[in-house]
Chains A and B, each alone.
Chain A
């Protein structure tokens, strides 16, 4: 017995770096939500669900569809701000950040805490741009440095007379390549033990750049960004929740979440959103005692972490697909709907996004607030040469900016709000589809159960002690 635990200890000691860094990079200091708050959140979710079911009528749904919107392009100052010459400096800044971070990653010190690249990739990009997309709008479409670099290269090639014809992706390709690449990204984030090591991260980014540039050349820039590029697809889905909508040269301001009331998703888009939902939950889930104990058992049985982690991530995705399909089937059966289960699945998938966004914010806001401060000292010495360019090289991260009790309340509050929005959206979609509020109401029972389950799962994850070492 004693030997087993000693062996387990050694095994764990070897694998602790992999386990400790479930998220690509960064140390989270937040503590699990206390039990009473967790139970309160769960209770509020159930209670509000019933209230909503009782109160929401066809009228409210119609108001949601006829939301007010305003075209910002009608404002003179906005036209100036959004004009290509005014956006150019912004694009240059993000290209510069990318290039400096890559150079720092390769030639700078290899301690992740002192290197710019992990902060830029895992905090600014993976969390910062995600938040901005979900609330402000599709900012990545504007600042994407890979897109900018490609556009510059295109101009250059045209000048020297080098042009080529690109073929658009076949319609059947959907966003499947984005699903594959996004899974690879989540794998690097959650499974790869090297996710925060600067030099491997440089290689990862360069691989991504290579794939992106090649595919943009082959299929056309906009075509690839719309269907194949994992991040552009990810951010564009998130931005449907946001308060702006850019299309046909107009930029509309609108209430949040109403963009989710769009036409049904395609099958591959449904798959992508399910991958989003499962992978957003994965980061918190993998560090709960339940999963960590399971992982330790598998590791001590001699199965390598790479295999355990990969299968774990993939089966979580699989589980989300199965559960969602099953609830779609229930929805279809209970409401006597003549559409196929897949049609039902495609119709409601967007309505789950608010819960995922709420969880994403609740889970990552603390790490964003603390870890992004690293940039303050790193930009003064990006290559770890003892420089002090801006006089901030000795800045220390302040952890007291977070009040844990406020954070707990905010986390639970966010999940409850996300849940309410999700229920409203799903209901509005059902009302519009059935044009009969009684039928719409009945069809919503299974979806409501699924949403309660998903919201409570999010709460549960946040109430779990974070275990990275056992």
Chain B
């Protein structure tokens, strides 16, 4: 019985410590955000990305919710640059820098996707009954290749 009381006491002590620490941390985590929400100054951010051989560098862009974000992309391949979830789609042309701005209002992790212009069958499993209907529709534009991630930390 003594043992059991010791265990309980120890448990309660740890729980109190951990709880206090949680309370402090969650306060700390929200304090820096508080003045921001009052002043409402979203930080403008510019991120320059390069897409070469379907490898995006850097492939992860991290911002904070509410930030005004400008994305610039230089690509060696024509196609659509798509931020899935945000549903922002822009055409890239080889040799021209794509640049667009938006407000990162949704927290979470969203994919950067490439919708290539021409069909590179090597990158895709070919359906068994590859019907011609597939090509007569948008065809290759339907292909989604995940090339990176757009991370928006909650405010």
Instruction: Give residues 353-412 of A contacting B (CB, 8 Å).
Output: 396-397, 399-400, 402-405
Q: How many residues of A contact B (CB 8 A)?
A: 55
Q: Are B10 and A50 in contact (CB under 8 A)?
A: yes
Q: Are B18 and A43 in contact (CB under 8 A)?
A: yes
> Of all chain A residues, which has the CB nearest B57?
A9
**Interface residues of A, dominant DSSP:** helix
A40 partner, pick from B6, B22, B129, beta carbons under 8 A: B22
When each residue 31-74 of chain B gets 1 if its CB lies under 8 Å from chain A and 0 otherwise, what string results? 00000000000000000000001111001100000000000000
Pick the most buried of A10, A12, A31, A200: most chain B CB atoms within 10 A of its CB: A31
Instruction: Give residues 26-69 of A contacting B (CB, 8 Å).
Output: 27-31, 34, 36-37, 39-40, 43-44, 46-55
Q: Are B142 and A110 in contact (CB under 8 A)?
A: yes
Q: Are B134 and A110 in contact (CB under 8 A)?
A: yes
Q: How many residues of B contact A (CB 8 A)?
A: 52
Pick the most buried of A46, A198, A396: most chain B CB atoms within 10 A of its CB: A46
Q: Are B25 and A40 in contact (CB under 8 A)?
A: yes
CA–CA, A405 to B109, complex, Å?
14
Query: In this assembly, does A466 line the interface, its C-beta being within 8 Å of a C-beta of chain B?
Result: yes
A190 to chain B, nearest CB (A): 17
When each residue 438-470 of chain A gets 1 if its CB lies under 8 Å from chain B and 0 otherwise, what string results? 000100000000000000000000000010111
B106 partner, pick from A43, A203, A399, beta carbons under 8 A: A399
When each residue 3-41 of chain B gets 1 if its CB lies under 8 Å from chain A and 0 otherwise, what string results? 011111111111101110110011001000000000000
Q: Are B55 and A50 in contact (CB under 8 A)?
A: no
Q: Are A51 and B8 in contact (CB under 8 A)?
A: yes
CA–CA, A110 to B137, complex, Å?
11
> Of all chain A residues, which has the CB nearest B56?
A469
> Of all chain A residues, which has the CB nearest B129?
A199
Query: In this assembly, does A14 line the interface, its C-beta being within 8 Å of a C-beta of chain B?
Result: yes
Query: In this assembly, does B98 line the interface, its C-beta being within 8 Å of a C-beta of chain A?
Result: no
Evaluate whether A40 and B18 lie within 8 angstroms (CB atoms) in the complex, with A10-B53, A31-B108, A54-B11 already known: yes
Query: In this assembly, does B128 line the interface, its C-beta being within 8 Å of a C-beta of chain A?
Result: yes
CA–CA, A196 to B10, complex, Å?
49
Query: In this assembly, does A109 line the interface, its C-beta being within 8 Å of a C-beta of chain B?
Result: yes
CA–CA, A31 to B137, complex, Å?
35
Q: Are B85 and A29 in contact (CB under 8 A)?
A: yes
A442 to chain B, nearest CB (A): 10
B146 partner, pick from A43, A405, A469, beta carbons under 8 A: A469
A200 to chain B, nearest CB (A): 8
Instruction: Give residues 98-153 of A contacting B (CB, 8 Å).
Output: 106, 109-111, 113
CA–CA, A106 to B127, complex, Å?
10
B144 partner, pick from A36, A53, A109, A113, beta carbons under 8 A: A113
Contacts of A223 in B (CB 8 A): none
Contacts of B108 in A (CB 8 A): 29-31, 399, 402, 404
A76 to chain B, nearest CB (A): 47
Contacts of A14 in B (CB 8 A): 123
CA–CA, A210 to B105, complex, Å?
48
Query: In this assembly, does A72 line the interface, its C-beta being within 8 Å of a C-beta of chain B?
Result: no
> Of all chain A residues, which has the CB nearest B6?
A54
Q: Are B85 and A44 in contact (CB under 8 A)?
A: no
Q: Are B142 and A13 in contact (CB under 8 A)?
A: no
Q: Are B29 and A197 in contact (CB under 8 A)?
A: no
A19 to chain B, nearest CB (A): 9
> Of all chain B residues, which has the CB nearest A384?
B137
Query: In this assembly, does A255 line the interface, its C-beta being within 8 Å of a C-beta of chain B?
Result: no
Q: Are B55 and A13 in contact (CB under 8 A)?
A: yes
Evaluate whether A469 and B18 lie within 8 angstroms (CB atoms) in the complex, with A27-B84, A30-B109, A109-B137 already known: no
Contacts of A55 in B (CB 8 A): 4, 8
Query: In this assembly, does A308 line the interface, its C-beta being within 8 Å of a C-beta of chain B?
Result: no
Sample of 10 more A-B contacts, CB < 8 Å, known A16-B147, A54-B9: A31-B153, A36-B22, A37-B22, A43-B17, A54-B4, A197-B127, A199-B127, A199-B128, A399-B85, A404-B108
Listed in ascending order, the chain B residues whose CB lies under 8 Å from chain A are: 4-15, 17-19, 21-22, 25-26, 29, 53-56, 59-60, 84-85, 87, 106-111, 123, 125, 127-129, 134, 137, 142, 144-149, 151, 153-154
Listed in ascending order, the chain A residues whose CB lies under 8 Å from chain B are: 9-10, 12-14, 16-17, 20, 27-31, 34, 36-37, 39-40, 43-44, 46-55, 106, 109-111, 113, 193-194, 197-200, 203, 396-397, 399-400, 402-405, 441, 466, 468-470
A-B contact pairs, 29 of them (CB 8 A): A10-B53, A16-B145, A17-B123, A17-B145, A17-B146, A20-B146, A30-B109, A31-B151, A36-B29, A37-B22, A40-B21, A40-B25, A43-B14, A44-B19, A47-B15, A48-B15, A50-B8, A50-B10, A51-B7, A51-B15, A52-B11, A54-B7, A54-B11, A55-B4, A109-B142, A110-B134, A200-B127, A399-B106, A399-B108
